[in-house]
Structure 1
Amino acid sequence: MLAITSRCELVGVGIASFSNSLLLYMLTFKATSSYGSYRRLMLSYTIVEIMYTFFNKICGMMAHSTETSFVVFNVYQGYVSRSLAPIFLLGFCAIYYTLITLLVVHFIYRYIVICDSAKLKYFDGGYLLCWVFGCAACGISMVTVKYFAFPQKERLTNELRDDFSQYYNLTMEEVVYNGPNYYNCDENGKCEISLVDWITMIIFCCGLMFSVIIMFCCGYFCCMKLEKNKLNASHHTVQLQKQLMIALIIQSLIPITLMYIPILILFVTPMIRIAAGPYVNIAIATVAIYPPVDQFAIIYVIKDFRTAVKNFFKRGTKSGTSPSSAVLTTKKKAWHHLLN
């Protein structure tokens, strides 16, 4: 499982570097003025996603789950004291929370554009920076809470020793970890709830669920408004708004599938006394492959970007077109016309 996770992180970095660079190029040179502040918001999101990808690889985060707790961990390199080492481990978590909060801001922006355009001024200039830095502040605050709420405890360390030796061939002195211990159990198997850990993780779970609810509500009201505006808006405006809306829906379904659901499973399974062991690293693997999947989907959905990519490849094959392929070329053009 650790090998699979590591490979996913490596593949994610490689492909995401290309997809994010491509999207940055599209946003810089192919996005028209009609995109408005959305272009700058997407640029911010893409930059954060680039940071997300590299933090994921640099941190080398892995996970383990028992019936009473889960931890994220990596190999302790000894660069700093053990008390400070979790800060570097949790750096990726800060980018994770920043990214999903910024995704919620995307939905709020689309809602304002379609349903209450008078408030668009709150996404211009300095206001947009406030949104972006506000998302970063949310990520940093969540990680700060995790750092102080879930310190490495002797009891938990001793409970994890056998598992880490069996599954990873590691001693607890070789790793640094962070995570909640939902139940404190004695030698007789009698367990008590760790109230601080439960409250903290319930807040985190509610935060994730609340962000999904906001995205769903904003998306629903935007779709309803677009249907009403069809008769009054220009065809180009309606088509552009629909493309951006579809892109945003895809941009939410992908993280829900690859980031929200796996991480929620990681959070919840120990609460209901299910030990997933090393298999919770599936969640870490899906988190690693999220960025390239997300960006390629956006490039495909937005027609201006999709057309730019198609034209690039057409230029590369144009010189190789022969008379014998004229019929095939005509058929391709016909299909292209139908699809667009």
Structure 2
Amino acid sequence: MVSTFSVIKSAVQFLTVSFSLIINCILIYLVITKSSKKMGNYRHLMCYFSVFSIVYAILDWMVQPYIHSHGASFSMIMDLRDSALSPDVAFFFVASLAGCFGVTIYAIAINFIFRYLALQREGRLRYFAGKRLVFWFSIPLLGGLSWVFLCWLTMYPDPEFTNYLRDCIRSSYDLDANNITYTGSYFYRLDANGNEKWSIENSLGALGLNCLMMIPFTIILIFGFKSYRKIQRLILQGESDYTKRLQMQLYKALVAQTIIPMIFLFFPIGILFSAPLFRLNIEKGSIVVTFFYSLYPAVDPIPIILFIDDFRIAFFGFCNPRQSKNQVASVASVDATVDVS
């Protein structure tokens, strides 16, 4: 019998993936049809991120994960009761969804690098031109594949881990441990004498994932701070209304695109993943993080649509065509990514 929580979770995830597909397709359409030529290769980056968000949302719907922290363990669980997939194939999808986290944080880091180079106004966006753009596109994919590889090598389901999860997932989610697959870490295990021991294999995998996560996180902090400082100086130097409006849009977009991944990805996943290492039991937070993980691809495109004038005007004009027709005042298009000389 499916629990009430599972029904609610499935409904929320269906709404989330539906909204994510719609909003990301809208953004791709706006980028292709409404973006200024001044945006240059940033148009390709936005489409790339949106296509990946669609893949992320579809995988999340297929897996419908339970992100769970319990005692000395952290896991991403897929219920196989109504699934036609074999355990190995299902595990691949779970590991791929975990890999989406890796792709996402590296893609965000690249976005921050691009934004900083654009703010410098020194022609350095040439590093994102031509064949070099393929290099930047490959970095998130390699980051995600590294996550999948580590999950497969060090975080594959094993009988001891499954038995450890059995009672808690039945009481929390009405899941049968015999009909699940998962990836995760079980850090402290019992030896033959009943003494607790450190699981080297799982811990090395977790350490590897933490390293893979800290690299883009550090890049985001460094380039986010440098961009903030640059924007502050440009605001002080700006005299025209156009310049002030441009820098304020840059500032708002930067803040929004920093806060969203921090709220939905970095902090909740990082805390839930790290808590078992320090013997902190925050199992009750698992439900919130499960929903946050699913919400991210639906929320991520919203700041771009709202903070880039061409997109915002076109979007609201489509939602309210009468208001668009009656609009008299012209609005100057301001791009938050142009490398202006």
TM-score, structure 1 length as denominator? Answer: 0.84
Q: Distance in 2 between matches of 1:37 and 1:245?
A: 21
Q: Alignment partner of 1:152: what SS?
A: coil
Give the aligned residue type for 1:247: A
1:86 to 91, 100, 103: 91
Alpha-carbon spacing, 1:116–1:313, altered in 2? closer, same or farther (3 Å): closer
1:17-166 to structure 2, matched below 5 A, reads 17-76=21-80, 79=84, 81-115=86-120, 117-166=122-171
* Conserved? CA contact 1:164–1:170, under 8 Å: yes
Task: Give unmatched runs, 5+ long, in structure 2.
Answer: 332-341
* Conserved? CA contact 2:155–2:205, under 8 Å: no
* Conserved? CA contact 1:27–1:43, under 8 Å: yes
1:260-339 to structure 2, matched below 5 A, reads 260-277=266-283, 279-317=285-323
Give yes or no for the alignment of 1:255 onto 2:261: yes
Alpha-carbon spacing, 1:119–1:194, altered in 2? closer, same or farther (3 Å): same
Paired residue total = 325
Alpha-carbon spacing, 1:171–1:18, altered in 2? closer, same or farther (3 Å): closer
Q: Distance in 2 between matches of 1:318 and 1:150?
A: 53
1:150-229 to structure 2, matched below 5 A, reads 150-186=155-191, 190-229=195-234
Aligned twin of 1:15 = 19
Displacement of 1:158: 2.0
Alpha-carbon spacing, 1:58–1:224, altered in 2? closer, same or farther (3 Å): same
Displacement of 1:163: 2.3
Q: Considering only aligned residues, what root-mean-square deviation do their CA atoms show, in Å?
A: 3.0
Give the aligned residue type for 2:47: L
Q: Distance in 2 between matches of 1:192 and 1:90?
A: 26
Q: Distance in 1 between matches of 2:17 and 2:312?
A: 23
Q: Distance in 1 between matches of 2:319 and 2:15?
A: 24
Displacement of 1:244: 4.2
Task: Give unmatched runs, 5+ long, in structure 1.
Answer: 322-328
Q: Alignment partner of 1:161: what SS?
A: helix
Q: Distance in 2 between matches of 1:83 and 1:314?
A: 48
Alpha-carbon spacing, 1:161–1:227, altered in 2? closer, same or farther (3 Å): closer
Displacement of 1:181: 0.9
* Conserved? CA contact 1:247–1:297, under 8 Å: yes
* Conserved? CA contact 2:102–2:213, under 8 Å: no
Q: Alignment partner of 1:117: what SS?
A: coil
* Conserved? CA contact 1:4–1:285, under 8 Å: no
CA distances 1:77-135 after superposition (whole Å, capped 9, x unpaired)? 67454344311211212222112211100101111222273432221122112211221
Out of 78-87 and 114-123, give the one that drifted further.
Answer: 78-87
Alpha-carbon spacing, 1:66–1:226, altered in 2? closer, same or farther (3 Å): closer
CA distances 1:118-157 after superposition (whole Å, capped 9, x unpaired)? 4322211221122112211110111111111012222112
Q: Alignment partner of 1:275: what SS?
A: coil
Q: Alignment partner of 1:72: what SS?
A: strand
Give the aligned residue type for 1:193: W
Out of 71-80 and 37-46, give the one that drifted further.
Answer: 71-80
Aligned twin of 2:337 = none
* Conserved? CA contact 1:31–1:304, under 8 Å: yes
Out of 143-152 and 84-93, give the one that drifted further.
Answer: 84-93
Give the aligned residue type for 2:17: V
Q: Alignment partner of 2:87: what SS?
A: coil
Q: Alignment partner of 1:179: what SS?
A: strand
Out of 231-240 and 201-210, give the one that drifted further.
Answer: 231-240
Q: Distance in 2 between matches of 1:213 and 1:318?
A: 43
CA distances 1:5-64 after superposition (whole Å, capped 9, x unpaired)? 323311211211221122112111111012121111111111111111111111221133
Give the aligned residue type for 1:74: M
Q: Distance in 2 between matches of 1:227 and 1:286?
A: 32
Displacement of 1:65: 2.4
Out of 51-60 and 302-311, give the one that drifted further.
Answer: 302-311
Q: Distance in 2 between matches of 1:314 and 1:6?
A: 32
Asked which structure has the greater CA Rg, the reply is: 1
Alpha-carbon spacing, 1:227–1:170, altered in 2? closer, same or farther (3 Å): closer
* Conserved? CA contact 1:114–1:222, under 8 Å: yes
